[in-house]
Chain A
Amino acid sequence: MVIKVKNLRKEFNGTHAVDGISFEVKQGEVFGLLGPNGAGKTTTVKIMATMLLPDGGTAEIGGYDVVKHPQKVRGIVDVITARDKFYRRLNAYQNMSFFSRLYGVDDWKDKMENYGGRLGLEKEDYQKRLGDYSTGMRQKLNLVRNLIRNTPILFLDEPTLGLDPVSSRKFRGLLKEIMDREEKTVVFTSHNMYEVEELCERIAILNRGRITSVGEPGALKKRIFPKRLVEFRYMEDGLPDIDDPAIDKIEKEGRYIRVYLEDGRRLHDIIEKIMSIGRITDLSVKEPTLEEAFIRHTEDEERSDEKVTAWI
């Protein structure tokens, strides 16, 4: 295991930002940390990146303890956030020349043009001052900066925050390519479920400083949200009168009705009942998205304050 986090704890002014979390990440794995605001994702990343001291527990990165050997950890780790900055008065070449000297990389210019080109940055862009860059361009250059440094372990803390959908997709595409090619070990935090689902091999759901679930995205969806969902358009006012013990919940949004089934095996019976109501169109059976699973899970957590559930 390249990353071993055991019973990690961090408290700020009496609030448990991280409350005894444990997880492991294999070499070359892309691991996602998913959670609502204040769940402890950034705090966890900061501790793993040696930017914050834990109150308890341990975190080992590449075999080095983050408290005992922080410099060794920083030698193999880099962090990318959406809030990373450059020197606004310097152009991209000047900025990259500075950081490359710090990293001890000589052939930075070729790498910069190569990686930047694949992200859609043109050579003329490099002559511009960073103050004239858009958020998207700056974030692309931020990724290029990390690629030039080329650390084996990468922490991505909501890296696409503020990017438009097209830039975000390009960014993810390059990330995926790099992860596949260079076997980087990545810890990825995001609010964006699609990103997590697309990029991560395993994810941990954090809520109120605790990991409540760990698993593969697909398994996670099934585990958290084993229910099936039937959606249809209902032309009458109010909720349709469908009564069946297999139905967990019925929701209405505009003309659309969502029927959540507790037991997927009774799907056909329920569909027959719905069809018998009449004045319905556009009926479809849906798989829950990770987003729905996540929201449902977080709501459940807040209601029941359950203990940790872990599975593969």
Chain B
Amino acid sequence: MDIKGYFSILWAFVVRDWQRRWSYKLNFIAMLLYPIVWVSVFGVLGRTIDDAGGTGVPGGFSTFMVTGIITWRFIRVGFFDSSWSIRWEQHIGTFKNIYMLPNHLMVPISATALSGFTVSMLNFVEMWLVAELVFGISLNLTLPSFLFLVLAWLSVIGFGFAIAGIAILYKEIQAVFTVIFFSFQFFCGVFFPVDALPRSAQYVSRVIPITYALNGIRYSITHGYIPTTDLIVMPIAGLIGLAIGLVTLQLCLKKALKEGKLERY
């Protein structure tokens, strides 16, 4: 399959997904408002703590929280979109038509993930604007820091593929992964610094790539550069995550084909 063919498929998914979102008008509005509400709540919370004397976090706690929320929201879509999409296609019965393409299943799955990326980008821009214009939090987003953000997204895409594979076999598995992913909020320093965690929990933090993603992005915003450790860890974590994701997806696909769980028509 050539690049043009891939982009045609990618475009098909992007158009379909936005048409579908637009068909649910209230949900569409909620999708636009949700990140604004989120960043506002945590922006006010951070500012209140700053006004009360702060926590000693570089750049202020409001900046810390808003950066955490924006990054979290951005990478969350990469983590879940592929698996939700597969589950949804299976549920409504269109998965067979997607599967019957003469391409590897990775093609539509990755196209779905990239389609989800457009939502991530929209939410990111909204939250960034609210942070700047409403709370006066200057995020100083440079090209390297944005690229690092995209790298963070890519690092969780692999896990997204793995969950997508497992979702083919075990339909309700997302509930488990939702719990796991939200536990990352605790370990990875979304709402508070990792240093505030008990020492044993900090060991867990160090093996989750999202910790490095958040740290790197915060540093790039507050200090203007990304720490070397994060720069090294993120691409490696991304590659490992992607490899694990692809292998898991392949194994799950084979098992689903063997057990007849690929498509229940």
Chain A residues with CB below 8 A from B102, complex form: 71-72, 74-75
Within 8 Å of chain A (Cβ to Cβ): is B138? no
CB nearest to B260 among chain A residues: A52
Within 8 Å of chain B (Cβ to Cβ): is A102? yes
Chain B residues with CB below 8 A from A98, complex form: 12, 15-16
Q: Across the interface, do A104 and B262 meet the contact criterion of CB distance under 8 Å?
A: no
| Chain B stretch 97-130: residues in CB contact (< 8 A) with chain A | 97-104, 108
Within 8 Å by CB of A53, from B16, B96, B99, B258, lies B258
Q: Across the interface, do B260 and A81 meet the contact criterion of CB distance under 8 Å?
A: no
Please tell me the number of chain B residues within 8 Å of chain A, measured between CB atoms. Answer: 31
Q: Across the interface, do B8 and A52 meet the contact criterion of CB distance under 8 Å?
A: no
Within 8 Å by CB of A102, from B9, B93, B258, B260, lies B9
Chain B residues with CB below 8 A from A72, complex form: 102
Chain A residues with CB below 8 A from B223, complex form: none
Within 8 Å of chain A (Cβ to Cβ): is B50? no
Within 8 Å of chain B (Cβ to Cβ): is A94? yes
Q: Across the interface, do B16 and A94 meet the contact criterion of CB distance under 8 Å?
A: yes
Q: Across the interface, do B23 and A102 meet the contact criterion of CB distance under 8 Å?
A: no
| Chain A stretch 1-48: residues in CB contact (< 8 A) with chain B | 12, 43, 46
Within 8 Å of chain B (Cβ to Cβ): is A249? no
Contact with A along B1-38 (1 / 0, CB 8 A): 00001001101100110011001100000000000000
Q: State A90–B12 Cα separation when bound (angstroms).
A: 13
Q: State A83–B265 Cα separation when bound (angstroms).
A: 6
Nearest CB of A to B258, in Å: 5
Q: Across the interface, do B93 and A85 meet the contact criterion of CB distance under 8 Å?
A: yes
Within 8 Å of chain B (Cβ to Cβ): is A87? yes
Q: Across the interface, do A86 and B94 meet the contact criterion of CB distance under 8 Å?
A: yes
Chain A residues with CB below 8 A from B11, complex form: 101
CB nearest to B100 among chain A residues: A74
Q: State A101–B92 Cα separation when bound (angstroms).
A: 20
Q: State A271–B108 Cα separation when bound (angstroms).
A: 67
Within 8 Å of chain B (Cβ to Cβ): is A51? yes
Q: Across the interface, do B260 and A87 meet the contact criterion of CB distance under 8 Å?
A: no
Chain A residues with CB below 8 A from B9, complex form: 101-102
Within 8 Å of chain B (Cβ to Cβ): is A296? no
Chain A residues with CB below 8 A from B97, complex form: 84, 99, 145
Interface of A toward B, CB cutoff 8 Å: 12, 43, 46, 49-53, 71-72, 74-75, 77-79, 81, 83-90, 94, 97-99, 101-104, 129, 145
Interface of B toward A, CB cutoff 8 Å: 5, 8-9, 11-12, 15-16, 19-20, 23-24, 92-94, 96-104, 108, 254, 257-258, 260, 262-263, 265
